[in-house]
Amino acid sequence: MGRVADALPMHATALRVPLMIKLLGANLLALAFLGAILLARPFAAPSPGVVALAVIGGMTVFGALAAVALLPLRSIEAVASRVWRGDFGARVGASPVADRDMKRIGTTFNLLLDGLVTDRSRVQELATAVIDAGDRERASLARELHDSTAQQLAALVLQLSAAARDSTDPALSQRLEMIREQAKATLEEVRLLSHTVHPRVLDDLGLAAALKKLGREVGEASQLEVEVVATDDRNVPPTSAAVLYRVAQAAVHNVVKHARARRVELRLTANSSEGDRQAVLEVIDDGGGFDVADAERRRPGMGLFTMRERVALAGGRFDIESSPGKGTRIIASVPASQSLETFKRGIEK
């Protein structure tokens, strides 16, 4: 069986000669064009117009042939630009004018992209499993704090109340009452810590209910007006729900602490993009806003960076729209399907 090049038409085989030969051929053709114009009048001195026409014609021929010869490089550059913008599905296509070296470069580039996509998928799956494992540990710790530590403290408060009531020594009764108040304060702190570590409502009633509870608590603890608009979230898997709740928690905390806002809105919706269902959380405030690029450059460890990384590890997307004096809009979208749970179930088996 002969080589593939032998079976190609003559013009296709000619287009696949090495790049150096293509450029050399372009120069020769340009010189030939220039010579043909100058030799058209062999016995007369060429006028400046003819010379200019010959030079321009030669440059045009060379430029056109060089552009054709460099098409494979432009294709590789275009693919690299798409990958830089986040399109990891871009690949270098077959070019009819690519020589053997260009073809090898394109093939190698595609192999590198295939490996990058595979590794990226594995990292996302592992990160998802790590996030889920962390959420399960926090949920277990929250249950322990709520069901054991808090109950022990509640019993201690009751015993101190009874002891203070039964005591006949006024000084001792006052001392016991002070200890009881400290125990009550500690009990409230433990309950608050339990909810902060992992809100049980997220497991019991879902993401929408957890966001509404977060809105009520923030509204009661601050002067901020919080509105929560949440659609049905029954199909949002636990991993995605936990990620979006943490984003909402951090975003609202930033609004209370930095934005000087009067109102904030939490929106939870679902949409379909390229066949994949996404859960989308928006946090919108009417505060002072900020320069996003400057904030991330000056404070790389701030909450925005943490939120972005957490969403990215869950296979989602995180965007910020803000400018000074115009408020802030945070948009986080994560997969709203059970596909994220596949890796976790594989580990558990």
Q: What is the DSSP string of 5-71?
A: HHHS-HHHHHHTS-HHHHHHHHHHHHHHHHHHHHHTSTTSPPPHHHHHHHHHHHHHHHHHHHHHHTH
- Write the burial class of residue 143 (CB in 10 Å: 0-12 exposed, 13-18 middle, 19+ buried): middle
Write the class of the CATH domain 199-349. Answer: alpha beta
pLDDT of amino acid 266 = 93
pLDDT for res 343: 38
**Spatial CA neighbour of 95 closest among 19, 22, 16, 21:** 16
Asked if 78 and 58 touch (Cβ cutoff 8 Å), the reply is no
The per-residue pLDDT for 203 is 77
Name the H helices within 268-316: 292-298, 303-313
Residue 4, H or E segment: helix 4-7
Whether the CB-CB separation of 241 and 202 falls below 8 Å is answered with yes
Domain spans of the chain, in order of start = 4-117, 199-349
Q: Tell me the pLDDT band of 341, cut-offs 50, 70 and 90.
A: very low
Lowest average pLDDT, out of 120-134, 156-170, 241-255, 289-303, goes to: 289-303
Pairing of strands 276-285, 328-335: antiparallel
Chain segment 223-274, per-residue pLDDT in tens = 888 999 987 666 778 778 888 988 998 899 888 888 788 899 999 987 765 5
168: helix, coil or strand? coil
Confidence grade of residue 27 (pLDDT, cut at 50, 70, 90):
low
CA 218 – CA 212 distance, rounded (Å): 10
Tell me which DSSP letter residue 236 carries. S
Q: Quote the distance between the C-alpha of residue 119 and its chain's center.
A: 16
Strand segments, DSSP code E, in the chain are: 225-230, 263-273, 276-285, 317-322, 328-335
Give the residue with greater pLDDT, 317 vs 7.
Answer: 317
Please give the average per-residue pLDDT across 149-162, as a whole number.
Answer: 90
Higher pLDDT, 278 or 71: 278
Question: What is the band of 332 on the pLDDT scale with cuts at 50, 70, 90?
Answer: very high
pLDDT of residue 8: 41
**Top-confidence range, 64-73, 194-203, 223-232, 288-297:** 223-232
- Spatial distance between the Cα atoms of 114 and 120, rounded to a whole number of angstroms: 10
Buried-state track 264-298, b at ≥16 Cβ within 10 A, e below 16: bbbbbbeeeeeeeebbbbbbbbbbbbbeeeebeee
